[in-house]
C-alpha cells in the first residue's frame, strides 16, 4: 500500500484506487444521492482552488455542521490546500461558537442549514471572519 502522509494524499489515493465507485450515499429531501471518489476529489480540489484564489495565504477555516458530503468536501478541501480545518461543536449556542471561531483565528466559516441563522451573531462577534459559506442543499424555499 502507498504510504499516505496527508489528507490530500488520502483523497487523491482514494480517487486513483476507487475512481467511479461510490464514496458516499445520502438521503437528501426524499432523494437518494450517491457521489463517487472521483467526484469527491474534484469537489475537494474546487474548494481548495477557491480558497487559494480568494485568500492568497494559509488560513484557518471553521466547520459547523452535521457530517454530510458537503461537510466532508469542505473539510478535506480545506486540507487539500494545506490550510487548517477547525470542526466546531454544533450543539453549542452561537455565542459559544463565535468564541471558538475567534480563539481558533478563523477567517472563513462553513456552516450548515442549522446555523445559517447564526450568521448575524458571527458577523457581530467575529470581525476577523471574511467569508461565511453555506454548505447545505438549496431549494426554492431557501435563501
Burial 37-60 (b: 16+ CB within 10 A, else e): bbbbbebbbebbeebbeebeeebb
Q: Write out pLDDT tens, residues 86-135.
A: 999 999 999 999 999 999 999 999 998 889 899 999 999 999 999 999 98
Q: Do residues 127 and 109 lie in contact, with contact meaning Cβ atoms separated by under 8 Å?
A: no
Coil vs helix vs strand at 39: helix
Quote helix, strand, coil % in the chain, to nearest 5: 45, 25, 35
Q: From CA 76, how far away is CA 84, in angstroms rounded?
A: 10
DSSP label at residue 26: E
Mean pLDDT across the chain, nearest whole number? 91
**What local confidence, expressed as pLDDT, does residue 137 receive?**
56
Cell 441563522 identifies what position?
Answer: 117
User: What is the pTM (predicted TM-score) of this model?
Assistant: 0.87
**What local confidence, expressed as pLDDT, does residue 140 receive?**
37
Amino acid at each position: 500500500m502507498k504510504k499516505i502522509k496527508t489528507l490530500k494524499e488520502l483523497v487523491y489515493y482514494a480517487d486513483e484506487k476507487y475512481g467511479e465507485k461510490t464514496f458516499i450515499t445520502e438521503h437528501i429531501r426524499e432523494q437518494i444521492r450517491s457521489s463517487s471518489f472521483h467526484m469527491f476529489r474534484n469537489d475537494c480540489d474546487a474548494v481548495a482552488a477557491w480558497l487559494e484564489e480568494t485568500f492568497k495565504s494559509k488560513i484557518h477555516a471553521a466547520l459547523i455542521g452535521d457530517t454530510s458530503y458537503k461537510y466532508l468536501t469542505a473539510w478535506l478541501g480545506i486540507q487539500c490546500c494545506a490550510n487548517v480545518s477547525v470542526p466546531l461543536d454544533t450543539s453549542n449556542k452561537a455565542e459559544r461558537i463565535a468564541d471558538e471561531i475567534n480563539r481558533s483565528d478563523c477567517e472563513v466559516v462553513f456552516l450548515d442549514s442549522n446555523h445559517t441563522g447564526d450568521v448575524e451573531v458571527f458577523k457581530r462577534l467575529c470581525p476577523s471572519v471574511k467569508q461565511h459559506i453555506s454548505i447545505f442543499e438549496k431549494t426554492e424555499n431557501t435563501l
